[in-house]
Structure 1
Amino acid sequence: MELRSARWYAGRDRDAYIHRAWMRRGAPGDAFDRPQVAIANTASDLTPCNSHLTEVARSVRTGVHEAGGVALELPVVSLGETQVRPTAMLWRNLAAMAAEELLRANPVDGVVLLGGCDKTIPALLMAAASVDLPAVVVPGGPMLTGTFRGVPLGCGTDVWRLSEEVRAGTLSAEQFTRSESAMIRSRGHCNTMGTASTMALVAEALGVVVPGVAGTPAPDSRLLEAAHETGRLAVSLIAADRRPSSFLTAGSFRNAIVALAAIGGSTNAVVHLLAIAGRLGIELTIDDFDRVGSRVPVLVDLLPAGRFLMEDLHRAGGLLAVLREVRDLLDPDALTVTGRPLVDYLDDAPTWDPEVIRPRAAPLVAEGGIAMLRGNLAPRGALIKPAAASPGLLRHRGRAVVFDSVEDFRARVDDPDLDVDADSVLVLRGCGPRGYPGMPEVANMPLPRKLLEQGVRDMVRVCDGRMSGTAYGTVVLHVTPEAAAGGPLALVRTGDVVVLDVAARRIDVEVSDAELARRTPDAAAVAGFADPRRGWERLYVDHVLQADTGADLDFLLGSSGSVVGRESH
């Protein structure tokens, strides 16, 4: 087959001369006849979880060269979950759009995608799906486990836990600060089953990571070995013309949903998988997550739902060992980037530690997949992660305590005069894709201090935003439509009774339809909705879709392919 890059480099005219001359810089003449492999690298010192990807890129480069290709490192937008304000999710679509356009605009035949921190793998996969060049992912991997006072620390999860202990008065501020240097032991992303770990493992189940690679710890030399082999694979993908559209199917997403449930993965994977499917033109809805995954057992005993950490999952057998336990639920025909079905890799995938990876007969949670809720509070859906919730709160009726914005919540939650008790339902609005903007991870609201001091550690919380995959609690999130898009969440008032029934898949407010129709959104809530005047935020607010379809931009749905609209300079 003719290489795509030949459109730049082949021939003897002036344009081909310019393209070759500016790229030659010591390269041999036949370099332009070889497959050109971009290494889309999200490394950045401001994205600490991805900072080691430059080293990983060197191993990819070696593999590409060994297989006869030319490796070209391409820095792309890097999003650090802990650093970027107001929220990294605001920039996911921008990162995807920028990566797509750079891949399309440049003389590359295929791409190796290097991501780690939460939004980087989703953004890269959205880009790869839209440009549809041969592509494969190398996840950056989780960090090693740190300890504090002799106890393993789960980054993210233990931040929430320890900070609540400070607020409750059971841990000093000094001890809390001392834990900082122990929380992040090494390079790599969060070592809990947060969004970063979830998306790496889900990407492998989807088929875009070489089976057995996801979850390899970032400092592990086997990650560099896998990166080398992936570089070699990238060259063969170009020869076989194996593009995302050629092997990603509805069955691939079924496998991803099963994996998401079995690992007890982050709720954020729902919005990311919906967005990736939207770029591929594959019909996927929030109901598919409930239909396929809600009754899949959680088999991985890992924080925040369990006890262990990602390093333990890797030594226990990794994702393939988990999937072997639920093999009958997988699509047997769904292919991976290697050209072989995912299920082919499960025959030799033993579990080495049944405490970490539970046998199906003794799961951590019998039915722990993400549940989709509907009702007059969420006409287009909301979701909850039962495995991270308190069982006694999965059916609950309580009086709403409403907060109109994140700022309103922070100003009042610790007010000793706040009219709240353990049975109350905390409601936070104005945190959806359009309202904030960017759908921040604030749905797992800290509990009121006076309740913490009474020993309360969980309450029902309802929000149109997201929560960190490292978080826990009985949290109803991704409420759709969001308050800023005219959803009924904007009409709820403090004192209304909210009813949650996860078994029945309902989230309702006990207010009649007629009364809701008479109400108008609270002025304070409307005042808190985002109203940017310029730049990316203005474009985002004007075009972002709701969470139930992936919160992509309306004009980015689907694939535009790899053809450049105009070829001249």
Structure 2
Amino acid sequence: MKKKLRSQEWYGRTGKDGFIYRSWMKNQGLPHHLFEGEKPVIGICNTYSELTPCNAHFRDLAEAVKRGVWEAGGFPLEFPVMSLGECSIKPTAMLFRNLASMDVEESIRANPMDGVILMCGCDKTTPSLVMGAASVDLPSLVLSGGPMLVGRFKGKKIGTSDVWRFAEDFKTGKLSQEDFIEAEAAMSRSVGHCAPMGTASTMAAMVESLGLALPDNATIPAADSRRKVMAHLAGMRIVEMVKEDLKMSKILSRQAFENAIMVNAAIGGSTNFILHLTAIAKRIGVDLDLTDFDHFSAKIPLIANVQPSGEHWVEDLFYAGGMPAVMKEIQKHLNRDCITVNGKTLGENIANAECYDRNLIGTLEKPIKPESGIAVLKGNLCPNGAVIKPSAASPHLLTHTGKAIVFEDIDDYKAKIDNEALEVDENSVLVMKNVGPKGYPGMPEVGNMGLPKKLLDKGIKDMVRISDGRMSGTGYGTVVLHVSPESAIGGPLALVKNGDMIKLDVPNRSLELLISEEEMEKRNSSFKPLSLPYERGYVNLFLDKVNQAHDGVDFDFLQGSSGSEVKRDSH
């Protein structure tokens, strides 16, 4: 017997309830036969916003999705959810990821839809939409917005990773304010998200490797007409997914998460990937912890030669064969039997993939770099873990012991970093406290602290930096992040003092504060928690309910899928 569509719980009613559910919808010029139960209702969850420039082309992209849905016999209905613009929103988009995920979850559960297209682009829009949809567990397909075209400035290709280089050149007087302004426009010259393998493209690669997106979703440039073709095909496919009852829980297996970790290593993806993948896993009920990221990354070298770990751009990676070609190079390590949204296995999707440029895509035998992935550190400075991206670090600093230069918070850092009196040299270890989930709040992307001007003037390009915060996926350097537990709640990072020796040993996955246990206990006994002056609204909820970095910075009450059931009517 044919399964009754979920949307018919609304539109299939007789009497007053049916009248109310259908009548106001008809003011949009929708004929009655659309509500009679033959056409699956497809929700198009759109994070379009002019305040989220990475997603500002989503109006056009949504129209392409609708054409596909109509062609396949579905009934598309577009709806907005909270949009998170990484470069505009204060204090940090990460503070609102969980709020956006709640918006997505409740919008899907509360409304008459049988399947969902999740339109994602800017960094936090992808995890927030996937987290929310996973909690409802309807047939869902992710459509990314695509990377922007590579910028051009003074004869060179540029992208977001160059912002950090430009900032250093500006600080040392090599780049004028006028040049900076010219570079702004030259870098952001088309629709789409960041051009390197930052968090946005890492998230697009994540959903493709998880099986939640169609092949090539991650790398087709936003300005390329093939992005609209992808949207059209996504619209067609979601209708079939509803008929097949291909829900997220059937795709998001433990093996799919293992694949995503290995693919992230192969592309040199963002460290933010850990937080978001962990949160998604806990929403769908898959057991995943920090040790998995280290274990499944360890055997995968850097395959994609894309900034910030490599030299090129995501646009170039698409022309070289895209994610299918990258995954094919590591296929012997992947779980190829995992089902994906197009109904095929991952193995089937990559079977015929080809590499067209070995400068862009390496092999297991001849990788771009032998060391990749994300290394998870443990030690008395990070009992619950910390992370570093070796492929974006300086090899000579991966084993390093140095004297701590401590900044109590971001304002303390800004006030001191360029002070000539700061007793710092290239062997020092920069430590920033109170930028974790609760401390900032929201865990901002300030972990890749800019270096002191007097060291930049000497030609120093990298130092060991440690914090309980995050780093932009476009950033680079020997940067230890996500120290857990965070300093604001009494984690060991809070106890570090100027002049303490810190030992980083990435090969042995260790991060140690070189003081005695007795001294550690003495300092701990006098610790006073950070005063958090938020007494109302969402931020208050965040501070009360947010988990630490090793648990994904999600809310404890949102873990686990709660399903799509609607408990009662309002009429």
TM-score range, shorter chain: over 0.9
Measure how far apart 1:310 and its partner are. 1.1
Give unpaired runs (5+ residues) of structure 1. none
1:429 aligns with 433
Q: Following the alignment from structure 1 to structure 2, what is the Cα–Cα distance between the partners of residues 516 and 564?
A: 52
Q: How does 1:66-85 map to 2 (within 5 A)?
A: 66-85=71-90
1:372 aligns with 376
Q: Following the alignment from structure 1 to structure 2, what is the Cα–Cα distance between the partners of residues 61 and 416?
A: 59
2:157 aligns with 152
**Quick check: 1:506 aligned with 2:510?**
yes
Q: Per the alignment, do residues 327 and 50 of structure 1 end up closer, same or farther by CA in structure 2, a change over 3 Å counting?
A: same
Q: How does 1:302-381 map to 2 (within 5 A)?
A: 302-381=306-385
Q: Following the alignment from structure 2 to structure 1, what is the Cα–Cα distance between the partners of residues 177 and 563?
A: 53
1:269 aligns with 273
Q: Deviations over 1:388-426 (max 9, x none)?
A: 000000000000000010011001100000111110000
Q: Retained in 2: the 8 A contact 1:49–1:117? A: yes
Q: Retained in 1: the 8 A contact 2:212–2:251? A: no
TM, length-normalised to structure 2: 0.98
Equivalent residue in structure 1 for 2:217, among 199, 203, 213: 213
1:177 aligns with 181
Measure how far apart 1:212 and its partner are. 2.2
Give unpaired runs (5+ residues) of structure 2. none
Number of positions where the alignment pairs a residue of Structure 1 with one of Structure 2: 566
Q: Following the alignment from structure 1 to structure 2, what is the Cα–Cα distance between the partners of residues 488 and 135?
A: 41
**Quick check: 1:45 aligned with 2:47?**
no
SS at match of 1:480: coil
Equivalent residue in structure 1 for 2:547, among 541, 545, 554: 545
Q: Following the alignment from structure 2 to structure 1, what is the Cα–Cα distance between the partners of residues 526 and 103?
A: 37
**Greater Cα offset, 210-219 or 47-56:** 210-219
1:245 aligns with 249
Q: Following the alignment from structure 1 to structure 2, what is the Cα–Cα distance between the partners of residues 127 and 382?
A: 26
Q: Retained in 2: the 8 A contact 1:274–1:549? A: yes
Measure how far apart 1:533 and its partner are. 1.1
Equivalent residue in structure 1 for 2:298, among 294, 300, 308: 294
2:116 aligns with 111
Q: Following the alignment from structure 1 to structure 2, what is the Cα–Cα distance between the partners of residues 55 and 256?
A: 29
Q: Per the alignment, do residues 95 and 282 of structure 1 end up closer, same or farther by CA in structure 2, a change over 3 Å counting?
A: same
Q: Deviations over 1:433-483 (max 9, x none)?
A: 111110000000000111111111100000000000000000000000001
Q: Following the alignment from structure 1 to structure 2, what is the Cα–Cα distance between the partners of residues 308 and 254?
A: 26
Q: Retained in 1: the 8 A contact 2:381–2:493? A: yes
Q: Following the alignment from structure 1 to structure 2, what is the Cα–Cα distance between the partners of residues 115 and 348?
A: 27
1:536 aligns with 538
1:31 aligns with 34
Q: Following the alignment from structure 1 to structure 2, what is the Cα–Cα distance between the partners of residues 313 and 455?
A: 32
2:558 aligns with 556
2:402 aligns with 398
2:452 aligns with 448
Q: Retained in 2: the 8 A contact 1:299–1:365? A: yes
- Residue 104 of structure 2 aligns to which amino acid in structure 1? A
**Quick check: 1:457 aligned with 2:461?**
yes
Q: Deviations over 1:320-357 (max 9, x none)?
A: 10011100110122111122111111221100010011
- Residue 539 of structure 1 aligns to which amino acid in structure 2? L
Measure how far apart 1:169 and its partner are. 2.6
Q: Retained in 2: the 8 A contact 1:491–1:521? A: no
Q: Following the alignment from structure 1 to structure 2, what is the Cα–Cα distance between the partners of residues 12 and 91?
A: 40
**Greater Cα offset, 159-168 or 261-270:** 159-168
Q: Retained in 1: the 8 A contact 2:489–2:529? A: no
Q: Following the alignment from structure 1 to structure 2, what is the Cα–Cα distance between the partners of residues 184 and 99?
A: 29
Q: Following the alignment from structure 1 to structure 2, what is the Cα–Cα distance between the partners of residues 10 and 326?
A: 48
SS at match of 1:272: helix
SS at match of 1:86: coil
Measure how far apart 1:202 and its partner are. 1.2
Structure 1 runs (4+) deviating above 3 angstroms are 520-523
Q: Following the alignment from structure 2 to structure 1, what is the Cα–Cα distance between the partners of residues 336 and 52?
A: 37
Q: Deviations over 1:260-301 (max 9, x none)?
A: 000010000110000000000000011101000133110111
Q: Retained in 2: the 8 A contact 1:531–1:538? A: no
Q: Following the alignment from structure 2 to structure 1, what is the Cα–Cα distance between the partners of residues 168 and 384?
A: 33
Measure how far apart 1:193 and its partner are. 0.5
Q: Following the alignment from structure 1 to structure 2, what is the Cα–Cα distance between the partners of residues 27 and 154?
A: 44
- Residue 288 of structure 2 aligns to which amino acid in structure 1? L
1:139 aligns with 144
Measure how far apart 1:521 and its partner are. 8.2
Q: Deviations over 1:224-275 (max 9, x none)?
A: 1111111011111111111101221000001101110000100001100000
Q: Following the alignment from structure 1 to structure 2, what is the Cα–Cα distance between the partners of residues 297 and 250?
A: 22
Measure how far apart 1:168 and its partner are. 2.1
Q: Retained in 1: the 8 A contact 2:210–2:251? A: no
TM, length-normalised to structure 1: 0.98
Equivalent residue in structure 2 for 1:565, among 561, 564, 567: 567
SS at match of 1:179: helix
Identity of aligned residues (%): 50
- Residue 122 of structure 1 aligns to which amino acid in structure 2? P
Q: Deviations over 1:28-76 (max 9, x none)?
A: 2210122110000001000000000111100000111111111000111
**Greater Cα offset, 451-460 or 170-179:** 170-179
Q: Following the alignment from structure 1 to structure 2, what is the Cα–Cα distance between the partners of residues 247 and 346?
A: 17
**Greater Cα offset, 162-171 or 136-145:** 162-171
SS at match of 1:65: helix
Equivalent residue in structure 2 for 1:60, among 49, 60, 65: 65
